[in-house]
Amino acid sequence: MPTNLTPIIELKHATKIIENGEESKVILDDVSLQIHATDFITILGGNGAGKSTLFNAISGTLSLTSGAILINGTDVTKQSPEKRAAHISRVFQDPKMGTAPRMTGVENLAIASLRGKKRTLKLRQINQYKSDFTSLAAQIGNGLEAHLDVPTGNLSGGQRQALSLLMATIIQPELLLLDEHTAALDPKTSKALMALTERLVRQQSLTALMITHHMEDALKYGNRLIVMKDGKIVQDLAATEKEQMKLEDFYRIFD
Report how far residue 200's alpha carbon sits from residue 51's, in angstroms, rounded to the nearest whole number.
23
Q: What global pTM score does this model have? A: 0.90
Q: What is the pLDDT of residue 119?
A: 55
Report how far residue 39's alpha carbon sits from residue 205's, in angstroms, rounded to the nearest whole number.
9
Q: What is the pLDDT of residue 164?
A: 94
Alpha helices in the chain (DSSP H): 51-59, 81-84, 105-112, 127-138, 157-169, 187-203, 215-220, 239-243, 247-254
Pairing of strands 9-20, 66-71: antiparallel
Q: What is the pLDDT of residue 247?
A: 72
Report how far residue 100's alpha carbon sits from residue 181's, in angstroms, rounded to the nearest whole number.
17
* Residue 142, C-beta contacts closer than 8 angstroms, at least 6 positions apart: 156, 158, 159, 162, 189, 192
Q: What is the pLDDT of residue 167?
A: 92
Q: What is the pLDDT of residue 202?
A: 94
Number of continuous H segments (helices) and E segments (strands) in the chain: 9, 10
Q: What is the pLDDT of residue 254?
A: 63
Spell out the per-residue pLDDT of the chain, length 255, in tens. Answer: 444 588 999 999 999 999 888 889 999 999 999 999 999 999 999 888 999 999 999 999 999 999 999 999 999 999 999 999 989 999 999 988 889 999 999 989 988 887 766 655 555 566 667 888 888 888 777 888 999 999 999 999 989 999 999 999 999 999 999 999 999 888 888 888 999 899 999 999 999 999 998 888 988 999 999 999 999 999 999 988 888 887 777 677 666
Residue 161's nearest CA partner among 127, 115, 200 is 200
Q: What is the pLDDT of residue 201?
A: 95
Pick the CATH number of 37-63+71-254 from 2.40.110.10, 3.60.90.10, 3.40.190.10, 3.40.50.300: 3.40.50.300
Q: Sign of torsion, CA 213 56 91 234? A: negative
Q: What is the pLDDT of residue 1?
A: 44
- Please, what is the end-to-end C-alpha distance for the chain in angstroms? 29
Give me the residue spans of the domains in the chain. Answer: 37-63+71-254
Q: What is the pLDDT of residue 122?
A: 56
Q: What is the pLDDT of residue 208?
A: 98
- DSSP letter for 227, please: E
